[in-house]
Amino acid sequence: MNTLLLEPHNGVLHITLNRPANRNAMSLEMVNELRAVLAQLDSQVRALVISGADGHFCAGADVKDMVNAGGKAQLQALNRAFGTLLQEVEAVPQVVIVVLQGAVLGGGFGLACVSDIALADHQAQFGLPETSLGLLPAQIAPFVVKRIGLTQARRLALTAARFDGVEAHRLGVVHFVEADPQALAERLDDVLGHVLQCAPGANGRTKALLLASAEQPIGPLLDQAAEWFAEAVTGVEGIEGTQAFVQKRKPGWSR
């Protein structure tokens, strides 16, 4: 990997966006490397933690890629590749946690919006600067709307306003905001501790159910949910979880 640092530990894969000279701007190479990592995930990985090197999360798309892309068709393909990455990050069965510091702009903001749990430094700088550059937040916009609602998304996208971690928390972009790196690290440990108490298969199915609830008709969705529930109760995790409860012990997946 040229643009990522990968560190697996105790069922958690820590992914660091590593282009510090560009505030970890999202190049096509980084997009492709992230997609390759996601494609190779297996059931041993229960959570992903995505952060950025040298005090910044991600300052958005790499403008050099856009300048060098060539014609309209190449630009369209470049832009759509990032949207595909966002779809894939959102859909993985693992719990996706982002740790947000410094610049969380454009594509970085979009990546934050597809996470399951977001932690932020109170001084992190969020925003959708695209319109101030004569561009569109084309692939990001639908995920921002899903995260914070249409009214706030319109305000942020149409003003290119910058805001800090405290405001990001108020808007619902992030779940926790902390005052310093030490507190942020402690919060991450706490969140991971809770995630690793949950059965990985049950978490994956629950995540899929929650995501589907925003799009699928309620009747077919509840039919599918009932089928998944029956499978869970009679499956390995369900049997282990109920036996552990009766025996007053921790289940085998708990760490």
pLDDT at 87 over 80: yes
Tens-place pLDDT, residues 2-54:
999 999 999 999 999 999 999 999 999 999 999 999 999 999 999 999 999 99
Residues 163 and 42 in one domain: yes
Residues 185 and 209 in one domain: no
Residues 205 and 164 in one domain: no
Residues 91 and 212 in one domain: no
Residues 126 and 190 in one domain: yes
Residues 152 and 181 in one domain: yes
**Residue 222 within a domain:** yes
Separation of alpha carbons 234 and 249, rounded Å: 20
The whole-number average pLDDT for the span 172-194 is 97
The CATH number of the domain holding residue 61 is 3.90.226.10
Tens-place pLDDT, residues 199-215:
999 999 999 999 999 88
Residues 50 and 90 in one domain: yes
CB atoms within 10 A of CB 163: 16
Domain that residue 241 falls in: 199-247
**Residue 252 within a domain:** no
Separation of alpha carbons 134 and 124, rounded Å: 24
pLDDT-based confidence at residue 255 (cuts at 50, 70, 90): low
**Residue 38 within a domain:** yes
Residues 87 and 211 in one domain: no
Residues 106 and 177 in one domain: yes
Separation of alpha carbons 37 and 49, rounded Å: 13
pLDDT-based confidence at residue 82 (cuts at 50, 70, 90): very high
**Residue 232 within a domain:** yes
Residues 178 and 222 in one domain: no
**Residue 255 within a domain:** no
The amino acid at residue 255 is R
- SS3 of the chain: the string is CCCEEEEEECCEEEEEECCHHHCCCECHHHHHHHHHHHHCCCCCCCEEEEEEHHHCCECCECHHHHHHCCCHHHHHHHHHHHHHHHHHHHHCCCEEEEEECCEEECHHHHHHHCCCEEEEECCCEEECCHHHHCCCCCCCHHHHHHHHCHHHHHHHHHHCCEECHHHHHHHCCCCEEECCHHHHHHHHHHHHHHHCCCCHHHHHHHHHHHHHCCCCCHHHHHHHHHHHHHHHHHCHHHHHHHHHHHCCCCCCCCC
Residues 172 and 205 in one domain: no
Tens-place pLDDT, residues 128-150:
999 999 999 999 999 999 999 99
Residues 209 and 130 in one domain: no
Separation of alpha carbons 246 and 105, rounded Å: 48
Separation of alpha carbons 203 and 234, rounded Å: 16
Separation of alpha carbons 120 and 125, rounded Å: 10
Tally of domains within the chain: 2
